[in-house]
Amino acid sequence: MRHTTITDLAKKLGISASTVSRALSDHPDINDNTKKRVRKLAKEFNYKPNPIAQSLKNNRTTIIGVIVPEIQHDFFASAISGIEEVAYHAGYTIIVCQSNENFEREVINTNALIQQRVAGIVASISQNTNNSDHFKSVIERGIPLVFFDRACEDVSASKVIIDDSKSAFNAVTYLIGIGYKKIAHFAGPKVLEICKRRLAGYSEALNKAHIRISKELICYGGLHETDGYNSMDSLIKKNIIPDAIFAVNDPVAIGAFQRIKEAGLKIPDDIGIVGFSNNKITTLVDPTITTIDQPSFEMGKKAAEILVGLIENKNKSAKPKTVTLETKLIIRGST
Amino acid sequence: MRHTTITDLAKKLGISASTVSRALSDHPDINDNTKKRVRKLAKEFNYKPNPIAQSLKNNRTTIIGVIVPEIQHDFFASAISGIEEVAYHAGYTIIVCQSNENFEREVINTNALIQQRVAGIVASISQNTNNSDHFKSVIERGIPLVFFDRACEDVSASKVIIDDSKSAFNAVTYLIGIGYKKIAHFAGPKVLEICKRRLAGYSEALNKAHIRISKELICYGGLHETDGYNSMDSLIKKNIIPDAIFAVNDPVAIGAFQRIKEAGLKIPDDIGIVGFSNNKITTLVDPTITTIDQPSFEMGKKAAEILVGLIENKNKSAKPKTVTLETKLIIRGST
DNA sequence: ATTTTTCCTGCAAACGTTTGCGATTACGTT
DNA sequence: AACGTAATCGCAAACGTTTGCAGGAAAAAT
């Protein structure tokens, strides 16, 4: 079955394609009666303009590009869902790309989206992104760009983030408040800004409480379960046993959690644990894990809303804005 | 910055656009020397053909549409990731839509993808889909379609599935084998084929072991945690305590798991639990949950591979094939 | 009756690419 | 010398839409 085109309608009505086009877009030049006839036939044949042809004219599609490190990751899956939700209601579809935390692939994806003439891009950068030329060329091309969670600091674009530093500060301050003294931090990749800030919040909390920061209690690693597991493992092997752990995110917390259980230590009595993100999993383990609620779905939604705004107000070259969403310390059984 | 077009190159070289086009596609009509000049300039200006213009000619994009019930669901997030992986390497991008288990939205998404002239569609249907006209019109339009996991039975399309019935049969048979006798089934929506088949496998296993099937041990519900929780809750309130539960999927198993713990019953001693899908979560709770490994990532990959095959071999109108991937019972602490 | 105005509609170009066909040139064959 | 044949290349159309401009007809004004 072929798609009905504007020319098909024109032929059937004995008028020109341009008149049909104008009638459908309610152009004042067109006679009301003609408009009615056109609309009736269009409905009858379920005519929908070919978006490709429109895109060719506008040199722009109605597709929003989304780049995330990993689709599978709870946080991103949820954020994508939020983006899709907003895009759907605004009449856009979303193309989803994953960088797999790989810089080259992020560049390739970005360029592919530019080539595809997406209307805008929502992105969260990979942990290995140390150069932002690809995002700068997005800006240069006049394509609206919004970061969420992990932003590129040296790119002038809007972002939806949380206050990582403050959130971390609050969590660690809470740990100190309930009596923990030897608090370790399982940090993420040093290059990732959000990780730096979480580390900074951790340090600040210790400083404020006049607790000396011990380098051996700060373990750097990745963002996955195995990283938390390994960090805990190496501490145990070095016989350094903290009385609490502030993990850079929930998977890392879970990894540490498992290794602690294997070691026969009790949570929260021997070791307290705080995660970050409020992944579903933290409510399902025993004990449940104290964590910081990071509104992933809302972050996706908000980022998409800003992007749609930028796309549809091309004229108002608004300055990039930064939206900081609230987090919340959720106290559970692990502390 | 503007995109370089084929006409830009033609002008700079003083030749026609058609020659440039042919040179770039290595057409035999074109002089080798010309080809070299063209290729050199194309590289220099980083020329990439405008996919929109190409799409307009072909009346087809290089985008693969993906429709899933929920992006956030572990199984689907993982499958999408697999689809993206294959698509990426084959030079396609993916548009992801979620139906939110809503039939109307699935129809709208499907039509939107048709309008967008996607090259093909990978879909897993919503639990409320009782009509397949929208998928039939995909076929009619000649757009390749592959289902995964949840297929539309009355649509002639390829599918990537698992043997739900056999998997369920094996799991329940295993439960019987290790001594469980009063085995409940927390079933999914009656309309969903995969749920029917899992139920059938459950029944068959009981029959084979000459265990009477008790209607009150079969609880119908949705596919989420709360459904498992509620099913268990109602059993407890009716004072019907099974000695094992076979859940339609892992979230449901987890829900039951929680209610059981709340009731102070011991797993696996008082009640054994078997889930379905091998979601990550099943390895993280205590005790870990016995489940059936369903290769989500591979299912996505396989579906995408079949789809790409169909797209690129338009001529060979191959008959739809059904690929059944192997599942595996993973025995853990809950049984 | 002529001019002006209003109202409606169509022509044609443009977006960037691909491709059938015809045109041109050079070369070898009779 | 006359012709056929490759080897190269360009013209123009096509994909479906939008839009500036021109044009025609009818209505209104002179």
Structure confidence by residue, pLDDT tens digits, A180-215: 999 999 999 998 999 999 999 999 999 999 999 999
pLDDT of residue A313: 80
Residue B12 has pLDDT above 80, yes or no: yes
Nearest CB to A81: which of B59, B71, B95? B71
Instruction: Extract the runs of DSSP E, i.e. beta strands, from chain A.
Output: 63-68, 93-98, 120-123, 145-148, 158-162, 183-187, 218-220, 244-247, 272-274, 291-293, 322-325, 328-330
State, as a whole number of angstroms, the distance between the CA of B31 and the C1' of D5: 17
Give the domain B58-161+296-324 fold: Rossmann fold (3.40.50)
A58-161+296-324 shares its CATH topology with A164-293: yes
Three-state DSSP state, A93: strand
Q: Alpha helices, DSSP H only, in B59-98?
A: 74-90
Instruction: Quote the CA–CA distance of B272 and B254 in Å, as a whole number.
Output: 12
Structure confidence by residue, pLDDT tens digits, B297-317: 999 999 999 999 999 886 456
What is the domain partition of chain B in residue ranges? Answer: 6-49, 58-161+296-324, 164-293
Structure pTM?
Answer: 0.92
Give the domain B164-293 fold: Rossmann fold (3.40.50)
Looking at chain A, the whole-number percentage of residues with pLDDT higher than 70 is 99
CB contact set of A331 (below 8 Å; sequence gap of 6+): A174, A290
Residue A28: band (very low, low, confident or very high) from pLDDT cuts 50, 70, 90: confident
Instruction: Quote the CA–CA distance of A171 and B334 in Å, as a whole number.
Output: 34
Tokens at residue B77, please?
């997030």
Asked whether A247 and A256 are in contact (CB, 8 A), the reply is yes
| Other CB atoms within 10 A of residue A327 CB | 22
Asked if A116 lies within 8 A of B51 by C-beta distance, the reply is yes
Q: Tell me the HSE value of A91 on the side-chain side, using a 13 A CA sphere.
A: 6
Q: Residue A45, class by beta-carbon neighbours within 10 Å (0-12 exposed, 13-18 middle, 19+ buried)?
A: middle
CA B120 to chain centre: 15
Three-state DSSP state, A81: helix
Residue A318 has pLDDT above 90, yes or no: no
Nearest CB to B56: which of A52, A94, A112? A52
How many angstroms away from the CA of A304 is the closest CA of chain B?
A: 15
User: Is the link from the previous residue into A49 a cis peptide, with omega within 30 of 0?
Assistant: no
Residue B104 has pLDDT above 90, yes or no: yes
From B213, B218, B288, select the one nearest B250 (Cα to Cα).
B288
From B300, B277, B265, B287, select the one nearest B171 (Cα to Cα).
B277
State, as a whole number of angstroms, the distance between the CA of A29 and the C1' of C2: 27
What average pLDDT is seen over chain B? 94
Structure confidence by residue, pLDDT tens digits, A214-241: 999 999 999 999 999 999 999 999 999 9
Asked whether A94 and A123 are in contact (CB, 8 A), the reply is no
CA dist A212 to A181, A208, A245, Å?
Answer: 10, 10, 15
pLDDT of residue A317: 63
